[in-house]
Amino acid sequence: MGASWIAGARSASGPGGLAGFAKIVDGDTIVLGHTRIRLEGIDAPEAGQTCKRRLVGSWACGTEATGALARLIEGKPVRCQARGHDKYGRTLAVCFLGTEDVNAWMVRHGLAWAFVKYSTSYVKEEAQARAQRIGVWQGEATPPWEYREHRWVNAEQHAPQGCAIKGNVTAHGKIYHMPWSPWYAHIKMDPERGRRWFCTEAEAVAAGWRPVNLH
């Protein structure tokens, strides 16, 4: 491998291209070098989510989605084609491991939904997974955008002025948690320990906090 791969993310051929060794944040977010990338056109279950099994019981679909993405690409050379930025400042991109479209792979294996609110790129892969009743389609599952909305509404009722993002201070630095973070309920907001509330992710980032890494 060339030195540019070893150093982290670099520009790949073509406008908006990035390449590097993948680090996994969650089921639809990775990091290449210092660039945080949201896989465009898909929405994976959140880390704390569970989904119903085909016959009985449930499974940790959020954790499994993150683990599956890690098994596929973590520590491997990935190239991504940027498609702009989301409202949180993350780079939106379609990413590839060799010729494999990683975004499509997640949807095709029932580990993410096609995020049709923003893109119809992966509706065929979703239809295939749904027909095979695999992953999140084997039983009842709440789409992650509904899961996030429900968690936010509940959290803002108990947060000052509806600012429901928790900024924690740890040995690893200043880290903020959204209401759907699996550790959210365990964080006791103590201003004397430097913990504070935020209304938006942009506000948290501007104040020097970073998002929690769920993997």
- The pLDDT score that the predictor gives to residue 15 is 55
- The pLDDT score that the predictor gives to residue 212 is 84
Residues 123 and 91 both lie in one domain:
yes
Residues 136 and 149 both lie in one domain:
no
Residues 125 and 162 both lie in one domain:
no
Residues 72 and 168 both lie in one domain:
no
User: CA–CA separation, 40 vs 93, rounded Å?
Assistant: 5
Eight-class DSSP state of 150 = H
User: CA–CA separation, 132 vs 117, rounded Å?
Assistant: 23
Residues 182 and 92 both lie in one domain:
no
Q: Indicate the residue among 89, 107, 141 that finishes a domain.
A: 141
- Please give the single-letter amino acid code of residue 186: H
Name the residue range of residue 106's domain. 3-141
**CATH number of the domain encompassing residue 65:** 2.40.50.90
Residues 8 and 112 both lie in one domain:
yes
Residues 136 and 186 both lie in one domain:
no
- The pLDDT score that the predictor gives to residue 10 is 57
Residues 68 and 136 both lie in one domain:
yes
Residues 129 and 161 both lie in one domain:
no
- Six-digit token string for 192: 């004397």
Contact 98, 72 (CB under 8 A): no
Residue 65's contacts (CB-CB under 8 Å, 6 or more residues apart) are: 26, 27, 28, 44, 45, 106, 111, 112
Residues 120 and 164 both lie in one domain:
no
- The pLDDT score that the predictor gives to residue 5 is 39
- The pLDDT score that the predictor gives to residue 14 is 52
Q: Indicate the residue among 119, 141, 163 that finishes a domain.
A: 141
What does each of the 215 residues of the chain score in pLDDT, given as a tens digit? Answer: 343 333 345 555 455 689 999 999 999 999 999 898 999 999 999 988 999 998 889 999 999 999 999 999 999 999 999 999 887 778 999 999 999 999 999 999 999 999 999 999 999 999 999 999 999 999 999 999 999 999 999 998 989 988 999 999 998 899 999 898 888 989 999 999 999 999 998 899 889 998 887 66
